[in-house]
């Protein structure tokens, strides 16, 4: 029977760069570039809530790190390292091998080494905790409270596919194997926009990653910035894999669908060309979808310019909480 320490060593102890102290001491140590602050974000992923028990472990390893790198991207921070906590019913080679492979492949792609962690048994099913660290010059960080009236609102990539895949897998939409095949990758293999965030640092004003849905996440920017917004529904970058869907389903996926991990950000209208150049450098499509205004609230206008009603509500992580 391999001990906990042997399992950790087998899949997670990897050489770290000189100057770093990695897995296997009380703490990991890492340097921070002069003039930079540390940016950090943490997430918990719970079996049955954030992923299905039978999800591909390699995809889960990728996504567990991706959703955290996405938070660094939304700050314009450069990854420095990460730590991983695993509470597992069993220490299982057949699961740990592909999980660690998916994790390390993404960490290597963005030079974000795993520097520490914790592994424990749990009778409660699988829970994954991830904390990432990055470096950002404090004056260049893409804060939520930095949107200004008149700013352009931009969205990277495409919207809607992850939500449709989730609702197909969850049985909320009728079975449709072809559409599931076309949308599933967006749900299980999201690509954190780290390169775009770095290209936008010091250029864009406010940014957020779309984890809870465009309207709700844009709402966080607007609340922190004490502003409102107008969006043009027809200009939103909708995934082609949503073509032919019922309009109500499409609208909910595009405006309210979570688990997207694209960036929503604002920038001065005078910087429109510089934003496009930054996106080109990062090799990510960005779309200008609306503008920040002083009046509070979000108005979504249809192709005819009319304010749309029946917008999807936000996502609450405790939908079943009892009344207080």
Any contact of residue 10 with its own copies (CB under 8 A)? Answer: no
Any contact of residue 316 with its own copies (CB under 8 A)? Answer: yes
Distance CA 33, CA 124 (A): 40
**3 state DSSP class of 46:** strand
Closest to its own copies by CB, 136 vs 199, is: 136
Any contact of residue 308 with its own copies (CB under 8 A)? Answer: no
156 annotated ligand-binding residue: no
Please name the helix (run of DSSP H) or strand (run of DSSP E) that holds residue 42, with its range, or none.
strand 37-46
Is 296 in contact with 219 (CB distance < 8 Å)?
Answer: no
Which of 138, 272, 295, 307: binder of its own copies (CB under 8 A)? 138
How far, in whole angstroms, is CA 186 from its chain's centroid?
Answer: 11
Is 249 in contact with 155 (CB distance < 8 Å)?
Answer: no
283 annotated ligand-binding residue: no
Q: What are phi and psi of 84, to 5 degrees?
A: -135, 130
Any contact of residue 133 with its own copies (CB under 8 A)? Answer: yes
In the range 99-128, which residues lie near its own copies by CB under 8 A? 115-125, 127
144 annotated ligand-binding residue: yes
CB of 89 to its own copies, least distance (A): 9
Size of the site for its own copies (CB under 8 A): 79
Both tokens assigned to 43: 């997430």
CB of 238 to its own copies, least distance (A): 24
Q: Give residue 212's region: left, alpha or beta (phi > 0; psi -120 to 50).
A: alpha
How far, in whole angstroms, is CA 182 from its chain's centroid?
Answer: 20
Q: Give the contacts of 130 (CB within 8 A, at least 6 positions apart).
A: 42, 43, 45, 64, 65, 67, 68, 82, 83, 84, 85
Closest to its own copies by CB, 134 vs 238, is: 134
Stretch that binds its own copies, among 28-36, 178-186, 272-280, 281-289 (CB under 8 A): 28-36
Any contact of residue 160 with its own copies (CB under 8 A)? Answer: no
Which of 29, 181, 248, 294: binder of its own copies (CB under 8 A)? 29
Q: Give residue 19's region: left, alpha or beta (phi > 0; psi -120 to 50).
A: left
CB of 205 to its own copies, least distance (A): 13
In the range 44-83, which residues lie near its own copies by CB under 8 A? 44, 46-50, 71-72, 74-75, 77, 83
């Amino acid at each position: 029977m391999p001990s906990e320490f042997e399992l950790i060593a087998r899949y997670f102890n990897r050489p770290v760069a000189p100057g770093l102290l990695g897995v296997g001491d009380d703490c990991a140590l890492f340097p921070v570039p002069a003039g930079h602050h540390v940016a950090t974000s943490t997430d918990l992923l719970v079996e049955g809530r954030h992923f299905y028990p039978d999800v591909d472990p390699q995809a889960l390893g990728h996504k567990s790190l991706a959703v955290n790198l996405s938070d660094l991207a939304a700050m314009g921070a450069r990854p420095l390292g990460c730590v991983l906590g695993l509470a597992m019913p069993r220490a299982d080679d057949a699961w740990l091998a592909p999980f660690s492979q998916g994790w390390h492949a993404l960490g290597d792609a963005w030079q974000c080494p795993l520097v520490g962690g914790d592994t424990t048994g749990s009778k409660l099913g699988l829970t994954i905790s991830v904390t990432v660290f990055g470096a950002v010059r404090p004056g260049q960080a893409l804060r939520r409270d930095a949107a200004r009236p008149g700013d352009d609102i931009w969205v990277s990539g495409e919207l809607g596919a992850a939500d449709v895949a989730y609702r197909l897998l969850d049985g909320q939409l009728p079975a449709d194997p072809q559409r599931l095949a076309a949308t599933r990758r967006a749900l299980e293999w999201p690509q954190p926009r780290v390169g775009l965030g770095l290209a936008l640092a010091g250029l864009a004003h406010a940014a957020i990653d779309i984890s809870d849905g465009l309207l709700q996440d844009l709402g966080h920017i607007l609340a922190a910035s004490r502003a409102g917004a107008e969006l043009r529904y027809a200009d939103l970058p909708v995934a082609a894999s949503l073509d032919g869907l019922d309009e109500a389903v499409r609208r909910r996926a595009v405006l309210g669908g979570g688990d997207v991990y694209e960036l929503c950000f604002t920038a001065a209208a005078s910087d429109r060309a510089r934003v496009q150049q930054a996106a080109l450098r990062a090799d990510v499509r960005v779309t200008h979808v609306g503008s920040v205004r002083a009046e509070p609230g979000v108005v979504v206008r249809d192709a005819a310019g009319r304010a749309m009603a029946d917008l999807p509500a936000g996502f609450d992580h405790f939908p079943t909480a009892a009344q207080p």
